[in-house]
Amino acid sequence: MEIRPLYDRVLVARVEEETRTRSGLFLPEKAKERPYEGVVVAVGEGRLGEDGTVRPLVVAVGDRVAFGRYGGTEIKINGEERLILREEEILGVIG
């Protein structure tokens, strides 16, 4: 199954958090926080303006982005967790 985001939506794969601390201790699953970084997997055509024009998105496939910890909608595609965000929910492009 494939999904193509519509308009100003972006499909993101979360980047997994480290399983160890800097000192080498393993973190249990319950102690891990939800990742707030991800890689853009797919983007929509762009934001639809009031006059009917489409403004292209700033982010592109492959960009590493930061977003709010509880933003977007989580979905499963082929058994993998993905996140659909509006472009305005993305805080910035990393690197």
CATH fold, domain 9-94, is 10 Kd Chaperonin, Protein Cpn10; Chain O (2.30.33)
Domain ranges of the chain: 9-94
Is pLDDT larger for residue 36 or for residue 10?
10
Is pLDDT larger for residue 12 or for residue 34?
12
pLDDT in tens, 69-88: 888 899 998 888 899 999 99
pLDDT in tens, 35-72: 688 999 999 999 888 898 989 999 999 999 999 888 88
Q: How many residues does the structure list for the chain?
A: 95
Beta strands of 1-95 (E only): which ranges? 9-14, 37-43, 47-48, 54-55, 64-67, 73-77, 80-86, 90-94
| Spatial CA neighbour of 77 closest among 42, 45, 31, 52 | 42
